[in-house]
A = this chain, B = another copy of it.
């Protein structure tokens, strides 16, 4: 086995990484670059400068995606898209999204400097609002033709701030559908990302080759009870919306453990009304999320959990309503791309394993639109969406080099 001749410039990548981490840096050592915020707009401006300095052709689209293209010269050449996102969750980590965009840029710079003539254009892209501060996967929805103006309009919610933020970022809600590309012009999609789980770190494996991404469904669940005086309402006459919700949360976690060990259940938020210490709660609003790598099982898991909520509502004398907030189908990534990543790992002498992503990614939208793949690098302790998110720098470099080799392989094959 011979080592690859072309490698990325690790020092240059690290300098970019450190500069970017300053934008929206938090006191805890994390970053807050919520999509369309001042910090996100600053990060985009910085990124535009980097694309310009790299001599790439800049482009943007009506969904706010910002790209630099390395043209191969062929008039009908298709484009291999490389990217991720620069936005973050509130007080999130410095690696999530960032390393994918920066490694893509570094690969394009190396290939340009080497004067390689590929059969495809390379497009380094920053997708808008991957994290869903306003609408998850906004940019990749737009590029793949899955975004419509009605994503920014809803009778049940005040979308005014969202629309204002879009306008401020130069995105016109009426035009977002125009971001759609013709799939014939696209050769494929490749994304480097931190695992955000702890399997690679635990097993000492350098590269995760993502075989699929879990499906995800989010529901708002409301238990409606009866407000009454805490001191004078006998136990058997209470209709306590918080007690019913608490019992549901406990039982839903047991259901997850016992029946859906491959899935994930989370209740990340709960609000109580009226919320006074001396009034029995009359309303509890929960946001629940189910994830599963198998689409049918995900549907079944959702149904059982909503049934459980209905049963617990009845058992506590409560009414129950629910509303689906979001749904992302489970996807399998492209076999040819997976094969190229594994071959690139061999070329780079990187240990690797296939795994399922339990987090959503822009690759989830890109799959079905174009052959797509993802390269994971280890997250220490599996911590992500936290300032404590950390990946050893040599793993970032290894991942970027695997990406570079994968690009070279795919450019010949796709």
Check if B218 sits within 8 Å of A277, measured CB to CB: yes
Is residue A17 within 8 Å, beta carbon to beta carbon, of the partner chain?
Answer: no
Q: 0/1 per residue, A265-288, Cβ < 8 Å to B? A: 011111110111111111000011
Task: State the CA gap A281–B198 with chains docked (Å).
Answer: 19
Say yes or no: A229-B385 contact (C-beta < 8 A), given A243-B253, A268-B280, A280-B268: yes
Contacts of A268 in B (CB 8 A): 230, 242, 272, 275-281
* B214, B232, B246, B269: the one within 8 Å of A272 (CB): B269
* B132, B228, B253, B281: the one within 8 Å of A278 (CB): B132
Q: 0/1 per residue, A235-251, Cβ < 8 Å to B? A: 10100001101110110
Query: Which residues does A use to contact B, with CB under 8 Å?
Result: 89-91, 132, 195-198, 214, 216, 218, 226-235, 237, 242-243, 245-247, 249-250, 253, 256-257, 264, 266-272, 274-282, 287-289, 291, 325, 357-360, 379, 382-386
* B247, B357, B359, B385: the one within 8 Å of A227 (CB): B385
* Chain B residue, CB-CB nearest to A359: B231
* B196, B231, B360: the one within 8 Å of A291 (CB): B231
Contacts of A359 in B (CB 8 A): 229, 231-232
Say yes or no: A197-B234 contact (C-beta < 8 A), given A246-B246, A277-B268, A278-B89: yes
Check if B275 sits within 8 Å of A269, measured CB to CB: yes
* B216, B234, B235: the one within 8 Å of A231 (CB): B216
Closest 9 interchain pairs by CB?
A: A197-B232, A230-B266, A246-B246, A196-B232, A231-B358, A246-B249, A231-B359, A277-B287, A229-B384
Contacts of A280 in B (CB 8 A): 266, 268
Task: State the CA gap A306–B266 with chains docked (Å).
Answer: 26
Task: State the CA gap A113–B243 with chains docked (Å).
Answer: 53
Say yes or no: A234-B269 contact (C-beta < 8 A), given A250-B247, A274-B90, A274-B91: no
> A90 to nearest B CB, angstroms?
6
**A229, A247, A386 — which one has the most chain B CB atoms within 10 A of its CB?**
A229
